[in-house]
Amino acid sequence: MHPVWLKTLLQHGALIVACVAVAALYDQAFYGFVAALAILLAWHIYHLFLLEQWLRTDEAGPLPSGDGPWSQVLARIRALQVRAKESRRAWVGLVKEVRASTKAFPDGGVVLNEDLEIIRGNKAARRLLGLKKKRDRGTRIDNLIRHPEFVQYLKDGSQKSSVEIPAPGNNDTWLSCRVIPYGMGQRLLLVRDISQSVRLARTRRDFAANASHELRSPLTVISGYLDAMTEDDQMPATWHGPLTDMRAQAERMGRLVQDLLQLAKLESSESCSRARAVSVEQIVATAQREVLATVQRARRFETQIESNAEILGEATELQSIVTNLISNAVRYSPDDSVVEVSWRTNENGGWLTVRDEGIGINADDLPRLTERFYRTDAARARQESGTGLGLAIVKHALRRHNAELEVTSEVGEGSEFVCQFPPDRIAAGANVVQLAG
């Protein structure tokens, strides 16, 4: 037991004994005992009253003084008070530091609650998104950023890792927005200024488009002269071989220019309209005919159109996707092999698959297939006359249809290219676009 408590017990006992002894002189020992208890009770109530007053009025003020056990209790309260002050000071310091560091962030950060309402944002977020500290607190983020892609991104539960949109009210600034869920349903919106890389990509795209455009006219002239020279009977026989080679190269260059222009066009715009429904059966039939005519090789096609649902999008772009995939399947597989094309749909979307029994693709090459001019060593060895742009075109055309390309392959066994279309790009019946060919 702490000595204070021992002393208190002794003091209380001594007081009671003294009171009882004095009262006993008058033959009133019991009243003496009651009087002693009343004195002690009054003394404790007085100290409790002082403590309650102190707690009620100002906890930061000086503590009331107390004797005996009260000095012990008050000393403990004082120690707790000091400790609480210290930890509050530490927390305030930490919060200040966090605030200062988030202020210095070049990227924006906005804390959203489970209803997507703004709780707070840092300085960069206010600058990039044009938020106002007091005005926008508690406002839903999609009431302030109304870009359809951002709204869709929020709706999809952030399936994509990020979305790129122009800054609200400033089309010259491009932002990459990413939403990260945390805690109990809260979300953190991270915003990065990507204007510079968007401008660079635009410059590169414009350069490719302009250069290809400028190459078209001289190429037409060269091809014209080459055609005329080939048909000229007076041309010495020694020129026949070189002329054939020159015409083949001019044709290849023509295809390159055409593919580069197509790619630049696909890259320059985001998703395409859903206004028209395109029949998959038709585009597959047209692609098979076109490929057999241009590649001039016999192949056995197996076509399984399991659904009559159509794709909502651009007929020419969808045609280009299927033609490129079937052309690759034919060019990178042996003559006696089968090329399978299938189309199926369900409530989760549509799947267009092109499968071949060809040379296959190394696992290391798979992630790079859709890069411009990327060709595998096996493809180069076959000396196929491709431009190396076909799958880049497929990727961009699919992106404009909010679709994805998935490739699986085994070297020497064959490859499977699957185009996955989301459910909102699939339509049953209505407005089938008639394609030429």
Q: Which is nearer to ligand ADP, 122 or 328 (CB)?
A: 328
- Looking at residues 17 to 76 of the shown chain, list those that interact with ligand ADP (rule: CB under 6 A): none
For the bound state, the minimum distance from the C-beta of residue 211 to ligand ADP, rounded and expressed in Å, comes to: 19
Q: List Cβ neighbours of 226 (8 Å cut-off, separation of 6 or more).
A: 243, 246, 247, 250
Contact 31, 20 (CB under 8 A): no
Phi–psi pair at 219, nearest 5 degrees: -65, -40
For the bound state, the minimum distance from the C-beta of residue 390 to ligand ADP, rounded and expressed in Å, comes to: 3
Burial 215-229 (b: 16+ CB within 10 A, else e): beeebeebbeebeeb
For the bound state, the minimum distance from the C-beta of residue 138 to ligand ADP, rounded and expressed in Å, comes to: 50
Cα–Cα distance for residue pair 115/106, rounded to 1 Å: 26
Q: Which is nearer to ligand ADP, 117 or 290 (CB)?
A: 290
Tell me which of 66, 130, 168, 388 binds ligand ADP, using CB under 6 A.
Answer: 388
Q: Could you tell me the CA-to-CA distances from 96 to 34, 101, 108, 122 in Å, in that order?
A: 59, 9, 18, 13
Asked if 419 is part of the footprint of ligand ADP (rule: CB under 6 A), the reply reads: no
Tell me which of 175, 266, 272, 369 binds ligand ADP, using CB under 6 A.
Answer: 369
For the bound state, the minimum distance from the C-beta of residue 424 to ligand ADP, rounded and expressed in Å, comes to: 28
Number of residues that bind ligand ADP (CB under 6 A): 21
* Among 135-143, 241-249, 343-351, 387-395, the segment contacting ligand ADP (CB under 6 A): 387-395
Tell me which of 287, 415, 421, 427 binds ligand ADP, using CB under 6 A.
Answer: 415
Asked if 391 is part of the footprint of ligand ADP (rule: CB under 6 A), the reply reads: yes
3-state secondary structure of 88: helix
For the bound state, the minimum distance from the C-beta of residue 322 to ligand ADP, rounded and expressed in Å, comes to: 13
DSSP 434: P
Tell me which of 386, 402, 419, 433 binds ligand ADP, using CB under 6 A.
Answer: 386
Cα–Cα distance for residue pair 305/298, rounded to 1 Å: 22
For the bound state, the minimum distance from the C-beta of residue 369 to ligand ADP, rounded and expressed in Å, comes to: 5
Q: Which is nearer to ligand ADP, 283 or 329 (CB)?
A: 329
For the bound state, the minimum distance from the C-beta of residue 140 to ligand ADP, rounded and expressed in Å, comes to: 43
CA atoms within 13 A on the CB side of 374: 13
- The helix (run of H) or strand (run of E) holding residue 17 is helix 3-25
- Looking at residues 237 to 256 of the shown chain, list those that interact with ligand ADP (rule: CB under 6 A): none
Q: Which is nearer to ligand ADP, 212 or 324 (CB)?
A: 324
Contact 335, 372 (CB under 8 A): no
Q: Could you tell me the CA-to-CA distances from 170 to 118, 129, 165, 173, 320 in Å, in that order?
A: 21, 9, 10, 6, 35
For the bound state, the minimum distance from the C-beta of residue 376 to ligand ADP, rounded and expressed in Å, comes to: 3
Tell me which of 20, 167, 361, 398 binds ligand ADP, using CB under 6 A.
Answer: 361
- Looking at residues 300 to 359 of the shown chain, list those that interact with ligand ADP (rule: CB under 6 A): 324, 328-329, 332, 356, 358-359
Q: Which is nearer to ligand ADP, 183 or 334 (CB)?
A: 334
Contact 278, 428 (CB under 8 A): no
Give me the count of residues in the chain. 437
Asked if 389 is part of the footprint of ligand ADP (rule: CB under 6 A), the reply reads: yes
Q: Using CA of residue 278, residue 279, residue 281, residue 287, what is the dihedral sign?
A: negative
Residue type, 158: S
Q: By CB under 6 A, name the binding residues for ligand ADP.
A: 324, 328-329, 332, 356, 358-359, 361, 369, 374-376, 379, 386-392, 415
